[in-house]
Structure 1
């Protein structure tokens, strides 16, 4: 299975597998809206988020249980680059400040766990393979770079406070981004897997 994934991997970015066959693309992964930190003194909203690099994953481990048709893959994504529009609210010495601009963050060595369950399904009298929804687990990597344009009008003092807070409290954004990425990747990978195996029999896949 690992070899099959490696063969298919170059097509994941565009979703174009040739011959007019298309599946949801991984590059970029698009998330319309995300909110962070409401009620914590600082609120951040990201919109029109584009995440690049997901398709460049590397398979670290692959566990196979042929008896139950269960598989678990541990994957590393060397670099994830995110671009978005941001809106932020921040309490500073009793004043409620608001700002907006462009958001850019780069992570290295993020991890993805793919627990996969296959089922044999009879379709048009033929036994084919179908994937259960894939409950992806995503672990965000270290931050290499974080920039936010027009952060409170370029006020350097406030800018340093905000960026320092975000870099030192990565879970502030991390947990929210993780849930969004998990939900998106789960839909995309399940859709890709089932589209590819639409008419594939057990024998064709494993024998």
Structure 2
């Protein structure tokens, strides 16, 4: 086997692992929204993803960790996208575009009874104590990864400079704030425009409206 063939197989295996992880995470959230958090078992999730319970356990220790993985994986993709964007673009513009691209597919509004009902169900899942705990851990890991991406883009040192960590913390806070605002809004609330506005305000230094 040549080096190229070996690398290709490694890449394929890694891609399949990521796909399985994403499928399990998505199945966990989908079933929880359909049936309610307490009415979904690991067995249900494994069956929905067409894998064994043992496979689920190989990826996640609990349903809550599987839900939080969606957020962590999305944040890791944001970091990758940020590094891939042209360095000639202003940092906050690049951050906004990277973030919005990851949230665009799942952007929805609370318009109508069905939309509001879905938002309420998501809110209930995310407010489960176990999910909150796993989300905090996911946020911490995401912030480290994002700080490293910011450091690579800006030429700063994540181990000695505050700047990349500060930017990563601000990005995470903006995403959390906009997400919670959309989930609790009484009327339609689209994440894309709100995220864009949040990053424009951060770029401007958070001036008083």
- TM-score where L is the length of structure 1: 0.28
Higher relative contact order (CA 8 A, sep 6+): 2
Structure with bigger helix share is 2
Highest Rg: 1 or 2?
1
- TM-score where L is the length of structure 2: 0.28
